Copies of this chain bind each other. A is one copy, B any other.
Amino acid sequence: MDQRPIGVFDSGLGGLTALRELRRILPGEELIYFGDTGRVPYGSRGRDTILRYARQDVAFLRSFDLKAVVIACGTVSANALAELTAENDLPIFGVVGPAAQAAVAATRNGRVGLVGTAASIRSGAYETEMAKLDGGVRIFAQACPLFVPLVENGRFRPGDVVVETVVREYLASLKEAEVDTLVLGCTHYPLLYEVIARFMGPEVTLIDTGATCAARAARALEEKGLLTDREVGGCRYFVSDSTEDFARLAGIFLGGSVAGSVERVEIERY
């Protein structure tokens, strides 16, 4: 049993889709969320910059006495998990491994699509993980650099011609490739679930990386005896830009208002 909090971070708001799932399956846990809203997005930046930012994010979270860290960000998971794991003496969970497992388990025809930020796709991390699990799976990857700005501007609903056009453009080649499983390799993308599901069709299984990562982290903590026995936990939110802007937008990702305090952090100091 371990009553210490779990740290969760993302480049901005996307990780709240994973946080929401963590709160649902582990309602007793104390969660500390950091969103690097002063430096979002990560997905269009170079690997060195992503690694530097991710190290600062973890250093800030570790100013609390944590039992584990969840990287609720596809870009950081794909580019910096190995370094962060090697440099920190506590369990760190990324989204790539659980999503790769879920995709390999779900595919029937061995053709898996992958969408993510430019940096996630460039990393090749999902391909590496899936190849370890099943060398016969073919992966069709597509970077979707406009998905994050669209979602962060509240443009993700069916019927929005801009969103529908961008989704069609990015996903056309994956549909043509007849993938039967599609990994949404960025924690912003669950908001586009409905538009993507309609375009891909009912026969394609969508993998929500934030949710699969949350489930995996919960299972691992349970196996290690690290869960709390509290019945009701809470969440503290920290951001590197305006707390008001975060509180206003966070409801979209959480499917409800921010239940907890929001505080500002000078992340460059970590």
Contact = CB atoms under 8 A, between A and B. Distances in A.
Size class of the A contact interface (CB-based, 8 Å): 20 to 34
A38 B49 contact: yes
Given A146-B153, A153-B145, A46 B242 contact: yes
B153 A245 contact: no
A150 B146 contact: yes
**Copies of this chain assembled into the complex:** 2
B242 A45 contact: yes
Interface string A17-39: 00000000000000000000111
A161 B168 CA distance: 12
B166 A162 contact: yes
A162 B166 CA distance: 7
A268 interface: yes
A203 to B, nearest CB: 27
8 contacts: A37-B45, A39-B39, A46-B244, A48-B242, A49-B242, A146-B149, A161-B161, A162-B162
The 4 A-B pairs of least Cβ separation, nearest first, read A46-B242, A149-B149, A268-B268, A49-B241
